[in-house]
């Protein structure tokens, strides 16, 4: 079944603020009726590793023909679908179709068959969007230099504050260690965790498709 694409300009995007871009993306997908109103079919995925250096392909910010770039971290949204429709990846920084079927995105952006040095292995923190939208906060302190000047210009909207009043917890999401990664993505307890824990679960690149497909069966 073909996937219909959307105009990426329909969504707010500030370069280098992918976590806030995805936060607003999830909100708009819900409000526009593209996702469920409560966001229960959406998952926010933080991609990083201990070294804060992850290669991703087909990225708009790249200056290379193959679109590869080395991010310190990146954030995307994955929408699970029912029936035989594959999950969809919403990546505002990608040159691939928007959204892209998960298998296409994995093969063209993550490229798991590409042999990487261990320092570049990607880890994925998968967070259920309803929990993320309630719990995430960023005062953008990570985008200021030691003198308090902006490294990159911030978004025009106000900083995101969590429902409980927390002002900044971005590090809880982007600090990802291989020691945090689960080993078996099929066990029911993992699925229990992702629907109850605000920081979700951490998985390895070769587990991503299987894990998301498990969630699609819920």
Q: How far apart are CA 93 and CA 108, in angstroms?
A: 14
- CA 171 distance to own-chain centroid: 14
Question: Could you tell me where the DSSP H helices lie in the chain?
Answer: 18-31, 102-105, 129-135, 170-174, 188-194, 208-216
Q: Which of 26, 41, 74, 128 is catalytic?
A: 74
Q: Yes or no: say if 100 and 89 are a contact pair by the CB < 8 Å rule.
A: yes
91 is catalytic: yes
Q: How far apart are CA 215 and CA 218, in angstroms?
A: 5
119 is catalytic: no
Q: Which of 26, 41, 91, 128 is catalytic?
A: 91
128 is catalytic: no
Which residue's structure tokens are 């106000």?
A: 158
Catalytic residues: 18, 74, 91
């Amino acid at each position: 079944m073909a996937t219909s694409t959307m105009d990426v300009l329909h969504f707010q995007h500030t370069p280098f603020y992918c976590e806030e871009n995805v936060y607003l993306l999830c909100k708009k997908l819900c409000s526009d009726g593209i996702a469920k109103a409560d966001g229960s079919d959406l998952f926010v995925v933080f991609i990083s590793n201990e070294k804060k250096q992850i290669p991703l392909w087909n990225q708009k910010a790249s200056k290379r023909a193959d679109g590869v770039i080395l991010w310190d971290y990146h954030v995307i949204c994955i929408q699970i679908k029912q029936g035989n429709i594959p999950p969809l990846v919403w990546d505002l920084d990608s040159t691939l179709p928007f959204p892209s079927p998960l298998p296409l995105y994995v093969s063209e952006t993550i490229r798991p068959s590409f042999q990487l040095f261990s320092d570049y292995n990607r880890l994925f923190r998968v967070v259920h969007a309803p929990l993320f939208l309630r719990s995430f906060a960023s005062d953008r302190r990570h985008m200021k230099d030691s003198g308090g000047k902006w490294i990159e210009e911030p978004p025009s909207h106000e900083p995101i504050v969590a429902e409980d009043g927390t002002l900044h917890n971005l590090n809880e999401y982007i600090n990802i260690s291989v020691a945090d990664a689960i080993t078996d993505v099929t066990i029911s307890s993992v699925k229990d965790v992702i629907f109850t824990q605000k920081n979700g679960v951490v998985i390895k690149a070769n587990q991503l498709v299987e894990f998301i497909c498990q969630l699609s069966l819920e």
